[in-house]
Amino acid sequence: MPPGVPHIIGNEAAERFSFYGMKAVLAVFMVQYLHLMDSGGTGSMNEAEATARVHLFNGAVYLMPFLGALLADIFLGKYKTIMLLSLVYCAGHAALACMGVFGNSSAWLMAGLGLIALGSGGIKPCVSAHVGDQFGERNAHLLPQIFNWFYFSINIGAFVSMLLTPWLMEWYGPHWAFGVPGVLMAIATLLFWMGRHRFIHVPAGGMKFVKEFFSREGLSAMFKLLPLYLFVAMFWALFDQTGSTWIFQSQDMDRNFLGFEWLPSQIQSLNSVFVITFIPIFAYLVYPAMDRVWRLTPLRKIGLGLFIMSGSFALVALIQQWIDAGDRPGIIWQIAAFALLTAAEVMVSIVALEYAYTQAPKTMKSLLMCFYLGAVAIGNFFVAGVNHFIQIPDSAAVQLEQRLAEMPADWRKDPRTVVLKGLDGVTGTPDDLVQRIKDGVATELEIPGKSTFDEAAALVERMTAENQGEFPKEDLVNAELARFKDPWGGAIRYQILNSARARLMSDGPDQKSGTQWDLGVMIDLKQAAAPAKESWVDKLHPAEPWLERRKKELGIQTKEEATAEQSAFTRTAFSGGQTRLQGAAYFRFFTWLMIGTAVAFIPYALLYRPKTYLQN
């Protein structure tokens, strides 16, 4: 092995700890923590909005490789580009550490994520290509082995960080959860700098790069690989949801596994365990066995991986279907989905990474690698777009935000009742919404037909109590609700969302389903906490989670929370704010999308003619 390889592997492990540690808690942080970082404690984000923002960030991370590749291939070379952008990366973590210290936390979050996207994304194609540059024709046979070790180091760092960072977030709060990954990024930069005299440095191509890029050979290589990256983009559209929608799904599951109650954000760490396990199994057992009966080319591996990914999401859709029915399935089912997803990852991601390097002309290595990474960006932008499209505006929240912005700062903390406009656009009519505010926090929304919805909710709660604390079947309750109508004569429908939440909803004044004027009440079932079992881990953290301590600092306790302490149920009125594609239907959409992608990949793989380029 070339002498610079250990520095690259060590750098990658520490940098991946930094990135995946921060990313592991990002979605949960946006929904549960961000609005508590400043003194107001208002403006919490819903899951669909958080999912869209997480995937926009992921997309930006994987779009920045184009900038890094151009810097490396034309101007600075790979080593200098990696060092420069690593410092930008560290500055991004420093910005995240400023949240809640001074200034606006949302602004610090945007600045931090922007700098991390620039730094992390910019170095990605350079690091991958820098690994390949350490090898020439004499030791090219070691390339598959080193790319496996490269991926192995990524997953070691990711595994440790995805176990530790959610635990730090839960008990010690965002400053520790984002601060520790920042320290690891600084260590990664130091490790890489220490190898500066041991690396093989391939200089920037300069005008030679431009000439080769526009040559027949360069354009041919690029256009041959572009369709491959579009197929891989759909793979990443599904894969990166393990850091968003899969986390939200695991919140509704029984997470007791191996004797521990896992945090929702920790489950994704098992993906790294599977990668570490599967890499040698596939490399030394599965691939050789399959190759004896069917020649296993890189493109055939990728095609098989796309079909396996379809199976993974089909299983997640089935899990969500059980949750939608009010069940609380064990986390072992999602772990099985992770096993399928990881098998697909080993066959698609690792193989495509190596293939992108070998198929790129010599001075275009970084650029062609970043086309591969750009496929990840396309996949994440697609998911962000889907989640943006399916969101239904919350008519009360949108109007309240505008009204609060118009109020003098010294009035906002006063208890007050705000009348909001309904569909007709004027107040003083039957479709008005009434929002109560205390200490600057929206506490209770009163919707038209409140007494009818309360009566229907009381019926659901009574039937739930008679059903031994489980929400009754939808058809049974909807038959009982036939006599209830909203103020415009519309039916009130009952739907189970998970084992602890159900919804009563009507189409509202516009009598159209799926709009911001849909009215209803969420019914949350307060589930009894399991008896605490103290372990050695419990001695390492405070008695209360950071969220509870922070709410006490801010003096936040809504009317619903106060009522929940005395009742088995909590009711929360809403006007809009739901999603058009929800539950199992959301995951089935992506399952069929992946199946279609896998089928369309077959003719491309049959027609592609590979040509390999290696450094001298």
| DSSP states along 227-295 | HHHHHHHHHHHHHGGGGTHHHHHHTTSB-EETTEE--GGGTTHHHHHHHHHHHHHIIIIIHHHHHHHS-
Stretch 482-501: mean pLDDT: 94
Instruction: Give pLDDT tens digits for 57-114.
Output: 999 998 888 888 788 877 888 888 888 998 999 999 989 988 988 888 889 999 999 9
Inter-helix orientation angle 105-133/143-172, to 10°: 160
- CB-CB contact of 502 with 460 (8 Å): yes
pLDDT confidence of residue 261: 87
| DSSP states along 21-49 | HHHHHHHHIIIIIGGGSSSS---PPPHHH
- Whole-number Å distance between alpha carbons of 373 and 594: 19
Most confident of 53-62, 124-133, 538-547, 551-560: 53-62
Q: How many residues does the chain have?
A: 616
Query: Which of 97, 148, 416 is CA-nearest to residue 279?
Result: 148
Question: Cα Rg for the chain, rounded, in angstroms?
Answer: 26
Residue 337 tokens read as 């989905």
- Domain segments of the chain: what residues? 5-391+583-607, 400-527+554-575
The pTM for the full model equals 0.84
- In the predicted model, what is the mean pLDDT of the chain? 85
Q: 184 by DSSP, 3-state: which?
A: helix
Cα angle value 594/595/601 (rounded, 5°): 85
Distance (Å) of CA 34 to CA 61, 107, 218, 543: 21, 11, 46, 22
DSSP lists the bridge partners of residue 257 as: 260
Confidence of residue 233 (pLDDT cuts 50, 70, 90): very high
CATH number of 5-391+583-607: 1.20.1250.20
Residue 446 makes CB contacts below 8 A (sequence gap 6+) with 433, 434, 435, 436, 573
Confidence of residue 562 (pLDDT cuts 50, 70, 90): very low
Determine which helix (DSSP H) or strand (DSSP E) holds 535, and give its type and residue range: none
Percentage of the chain beyond pLDDT 90 is: 45
Confidence of residue 414 (pLDDT cuts 50, 70, 90): low
Percentage of the chain beyond pLDDT 70 is: 89
Cβ–Cβ contacts within 10 Å for residue 196, how many? 13
